[in-house]
A and B are shown apart, each in its own frame.
Chain A
């Protein structure tokens, strides 16, 4: 069973991701903040993470940078509700960061899931 990390500070949004991926037979771990997620990575080894950008404390971009150092195998798919957000250049260059950026609301979960699978295989 593949493990996916859902990082989103908004409970309702995070839960909808969790529910979807659980229904699709993923093992889901979740975190409300980047700090929590980093702690989680001490004990868990998810293959892929769905990352929200605007977070209290450490933001999504810095979380990816930090997590990249700790777990080389982890792949990232960014999902943000901010219309002005763009993926920073240094992250664009990372092979384990998806070049497909998802805007919230995500209307097509299947597409997100496919991208997560693709990234997972790519980084493995």
Chain B
């Protein structure tokens, strides 16, 4: 076989092979879903496979050899050619061109992904463009739906004012809404894929992660309030976290939403502070203040109420008033009256007994109405001290008016009294056996003698009668003198004395006084002395103070005697109250005591418990006057029936108490 024969034979074989390949290629070209076509340099279709032609509703032959413009509208044809020219001019493939394609005569566009590669001739020059295309309309449609739902999701989460985020298992941000980005003061791109540690101090991020883990590991919902500090400002945020399984990655993700509760927290704090402040105000009141509802159940109970009753606020609140404050049980009527009339109800100086003492209180009930909730506040003030002072002042006023009256009257009384007493005195002289020459002369004149006259007088009790006149006159003079003690003016000058000495002297004087006048013996009274030895010398009118002490001893002794006390005892106390620079004296007896009605009036002028004619009713009021007005001191009496009486005297060292 010659070279040419062998060549021919080769050519034939090669030809056959080529034919075969061409047939395969044709089959391949027309089979399948991939659209294929190629065009020359001038936008003319050279070959179009069936899939490509079918898209436009044509057969390949209807397109092959025809320029684009004949098949498609001019605009579309030019767009196609523009891509082709890019490939032709650059010689490089253009891949994945996604384009919308509307087949001629149809309304509905489809989406194609097109790849265009240059074709070359045998010499390597670019001869046209080969294009592959796949219909991606379905994919495009899905993508569009996805994009729409993503956009919807974005709109939704951005439309929510609260910050919202999604984290993956590694705590990295997957989704953040606009508010979240704002709160973090970062752009979304800076946040995505990062974790808390890149934005917060470690300790804060630790807490965030711990709560992340709580929900990532379970289906629980975690709500946590935490402090969140940014730019030096601390806000309180409430974060709600829950987890879900991400359908795409299959990972556990968590979704969190944050609410800034700073304002609410601040309002709570403010409310709490206000409540504490008000409670403090109410507690700082010296009054008892009790809030009650319409039924009388306690709502509010201040410290003073707790102090007085010994019942703590926590135990009292909710209880009926009468069970925690029995003394106020009768006031429930007033509570209802206050509520129904919307006016306060007050009661002044109501007295009550406690431990044998009488106390006074003012009760005020204020109605309260708050959004239909009716109730009242009961205020109780202890006014015992004030009532006491008022009593004293009334006493003092009475005495002063007696004093004023006495000063005016004394002269008018003293003159006739002088006429009476002095005349009785002369009368006595003239009737007695005294050496009065005129008596003798007169007796002689009428033919008798003084001895006879005297005997007659004696027998007829004339001297006793004259003595009665004199004694009565002395008593009247004494009353006038005592009344004059109430006048403010005092001529006596004060000097310094030890009160213990004055008490001792008064005891001695009392002893002699009683020895003479009474049938019982003052010396049988036991005297207990509880004297302080550090008493300063007290500037005072010694005689007047002794008058006071004598008076107290006399009254006490009489009271103990009348009550037939088996072992009558006086206990004398003295001590120095350094704080008030005051000497305090107490004289105690173990007599029958003084009942409350008498105690109240005991210092009143002319008030006496003794039978008419026995006492002047001035002793204690004069004493009181001497202590309070002349010495600027205080005099009080305490007593419990059957347990004796205790007179307390307080005398200031720095003032003699005399008023102009």
Query: Size band of the A side of the interface?
Result: 20 to 34
Cα-based distance from A54 to B414 in the complex (angstroms) = 12
Instruction: Kindly identify which residue among A17, A22, A83, A86 contacts B411, using a CB–CB cutoff of 8 Å.
Output: A83
Asked, given contacts A23-B436, A25-B437, whether A104 binds B414 with beta carbons under 8 Å apart, the answer is yes
| B643, CB-defined interface residue at 8 Å | no
Q: Which of A13, A20, A83 has the most CB of B within 10 A?
A: A83
Q: Are A23 and B419 in contact (CB under 8 A)?
A: no
Which B-chain residue is minimally distant from A18 (CB atoms)? B426
Distance from A101 Cβ to chain B, minimum over Cβ atoms (Å): 11
Contact of A105 among B422, B489, B491 (CB under 8 A): B422
Known: A23-B438, A83-B410, A105-B420. A16 touches B426 (CB 8 A): yes
Q: How far is the CB of B373 from chain A (nearest CB, A)?
A: 69
Q: Cα distance A103–B481 when bound, in Å?
A: 11
State how many residues of chain B have any CB contact under 8 Å with chain A.
32
> Are B436 and A103 neighbours in the complex by a CB distance under 8 Å?
no
Inter-subunit contact A106/B436 (CB<8 Å): no
Would you call A1 an interface residue if the criterion is a C-beta within 8 Å of the partner chain's C-beta atoms? no
Give the residues from 416 to 439 in chain B that come closer than 8 angstroms, CB to CB, to chain A: 416-423, 425-426, 429-430, 436-439
| Cβ-based interface call for B545 (8 A) | no
Contacts known (A81-B410, A83-B410); A10 close to B422, Cβ less than 8 A: no
Residues on A with beta carbons closer than 8 Å to the beta carbon of B418:
10, 12-13, 16, 81, 104-106
In the complex, how many angstroms separate the beta carbon of B478 from the nearest chain A beta carbon? 11
User: Which residues of A are found within 8 Å of B421, using beta-carbon distances?
Assistant: 105-107
Report A109 CB to chain B, min CB distance, Å.
6
Determine if A81 and B425 form an interchain contact, defined as CB atoms under 8 angstroms apart: no
The answer, yes or no, to whether B90 is at the interface (CB within 8 Å) is no
- Nearest A-chain residue to B409, judged by Cβ: A83
**What's the Cα separation between A19 and B436 when bound, in Å?**
11
Known A-B contacts A103-B414, A107-B425, A109-B425; the reply to A16 vs B438 at CB < 8 A is no
Closest to B491 in A: A86
Contact call A105/B437, Cβ cutoff below 8 A:
no
Q: B437 — which chain A residues lie within 8 A by C-beta?
A: 25
CB distance from A14 to the nearest CB of B (A): 9
Contact of A81 among B411, B438, B474 (CB under 8 A): B411
Question: Are A20 and B425 within 8 A (Cβ)?
Answer: yes
**CB-CB contacts of B438-449 with A at 8 A, as 1s and 0s?**
110000000000
In the complex, B77 has a CB within 8 A of chain A: no
Q: Taking CB as reference atom, which chain A residue is nearest B480?
A: A83
The distance in angstroms between the C-alpha atoms of A120 and B489, with both chains bound, is: 33
Answer yes or no: A84 CB below 8 A from chain B CBs. yes
CA distance A16 to B428 in the complex (A): 12
Chain A nearest Cβ from B582, distance in angstroms: 31
One of A10, A12, A16, A103 near B425 (C-beta < 8 A): A16
B653 at the interface (CB under 8 A from A): no
| A82 on the B face (CB < 8 A) | yes
Cα(A105)–Cα(B480), bound, Å: 11
Residue B484 lies at the interface, judged by CB distance under 8 Å to chain A: yes
Q: Is the CB of A23 within 8 A of B429?
A: yes
| CB 8 Å contact bits of A82-101 with B (1 = contact, 0 = none) | 11101000000000000000
Interface residues of B in 10-32 (CB under 8 A from A): none
* Residue A71 is within 8 A (CB to CB) of chain B in the complex: no
A15 within 8 A of B: yes
Inter-chain CA distance A13–B228, complex, in Å, is 107
**Are the CB atoms of B423 and A12 closer together than 8 Å?**
yes
Residues in chain A near residue B406, CB distance under 8 A: 83
Contact A12 B429, CB 8 Å, known A25-B437, A83-B407, A105-B477: no
Residue in chain A with minimal CB distance to B430:
A23
Chain A residues numbered 1-56 whose CB sits less than 8 Å from any CB in chain B: 10, 12-13, 15-17, 19-20, 22-25, 54
Could you say which residues of chain A place their CB within 8 Å of the CB of B419? 10, 12-13, 16
Residues of chain B with a CB closer than 8 A to A17's CB = 422
- A109: nearest chain-B partner, CB-CB: B425
Please, how many angstroms separate the alpha-carbon atoms of A54 and B474 in the complex?
A: 22
The chain B residue sitting closest to A108, CB to CB, is: B425
CB within 8 Å for A82 and B417 given contacts A15-B423, A23-B430: no
In the complex, which residues of chain B have a beta carbon less than 8 angstroms from the beta carbon of A105?
Answer: 414, 417-418, 420-422, 473, 477
* Also in contact, A13 and B426, with CB within 8 A (given A86-B491, A105-B477): no
Given A81-B414, A105-B417, answer yes or no on A23-B426 (Cβ-Cβ < 8 Å).
Answer: yes
Q: Does B89 contact A (CB under 8 A)?
A: no
Interface assignment of B415: CB less than 8 Å from any CB of chain A: yes
B415's partner among A13, A15, A20, A24 (CB-CB below 8 A) is A13
Contact with A along B387-417 (1 / 0, CB 8 A): 0000000000000000000110011001111
- Please report the C-alpha to C-alpha distance between residue A104 and residue B418 in the assembled complex, in whole angstroms: 6
Q: How far is the CA of A25 from the CA of B407 in the complex (A)?
A: 37
Write out the residue numbers on chain B whose beta carbons fall within 8 Å of the beta carbon of A24.
Answer: 436
Contacts A15-B423, A23-B436; is A81 near B491 (CB within 8 Å)? no
A109 cross-chain contacts in B, Cβ below 8 A: 422, 425-426
Bitwise interface map of B from 477 to 495 toward A, beta carbon under 8 Å scored 1, else 0: 1001100100101010000
A84 in contact with B407 (CB, 8 Å):
yes
Could you name 14 residue pairs across A and B whose Cβ atoms are closer than 8 Å? A10-B418, A10-B419, A19-B423, A20-B422, A22-B438, A82-B410, A83-B414, A84-B487, A104-B414, A104-B417, A105-B414, A105-B418, A106-B418, A107-B473
Closest 6 CB pairs of A and B: A12-B419, A81-B414, A16-B422, A105-B418, A104-B418, A105-B421
Known A-B contacts: A16-B423, A24-B436, A83-B487. Give 12 more (CB < 8 A). A12-B420, A12-B423, A13-B418, A16-B418, A23-B429, A81-B415, A83-B414, A83-B484, A104-B415, A107-B470, A109-B422, A109-B426
Q: Which residues of B contact A (CB under 8 A)?
A: 406-407, 410-411, 414-423, 425-426, 429-430, 436-439, 470, 473-474, 477, 480-481, 484, 487, 489, 491
